[in-house]
Amino acid sequence: MHQFDLRVYYEDTDLAGIVYYANYLKFIERARTEFIRALGIDQTALRDAEGIVFAVRRIEADYLAPARFDDALTVVTSPEQVTGARIVLNQAVRRDGQDLFIATVTLAALGETGQPVRLPAKIRRLMQ
């Protein structure tokens, strides 16, 4: 499990003063990047050396409660499943331990042609 802390800025909110729905996707994207970095995976080096990038294939999300300007949030990321070319992650955006937004995100490993490729064994081990 990985935790990523962030603060809601004015630019993240809509006219009603709550976090605009699409910004939750940005929050969990940042958290995924930091989760992968914390595992010791350099995504730029992976792309340059092996031609592999991660792409979001599917997101299933639920908006449970609103976040507002200046809220301190934590995004929790944990792997659910790792297969040959796919990673499934559970992510939750929380305020004071309360889930505000939850998502199951499926990442695909893609090669230079955009076709699915097998994840290196080291990455599969790190993700499990």
Mark whether 42 is an active-site residue. no
Using alpha carbons, list the distances in angstroms from residue 96 to 4, 5, 71, 73, 113: 13, 11, 10, 8, 43
> Given 2.60.120.10, 3.40.50.9100, 3.10.20.520, 3.10.129.10, which CATH number is that of 2-127?
3.10.129.10
Q: Which of 95, 99, 29 is nearest to 64 (CA)?
A: 99
pLDDT score of 128: 79
Of the candidates 70, 63, 69, which has an alpha carbon nearest to the alpha carbon of residue 93?
A: 63
pLDDT tens across the length of the chain (128 residues): 999 999 999 999 999 999 999 999 999 999 999 999 999 999 999 999 989 999 999 999 999 999 999 999 999 999 999 998 999 999 999 999 999 999 999 999 999 888 999 998 888 888 87
- pLDDT at residue 126, rounded to an integer: 87
According to the model, what pLDDT value does residue 86 have? 93
- What pLDDT is stored for residue 10 in this prediction? 95
Type of residue numbered 84: G
Give the pLDDT score at 3: 97
- Active-site annotation holder among 14, 62, 70, 99: 14
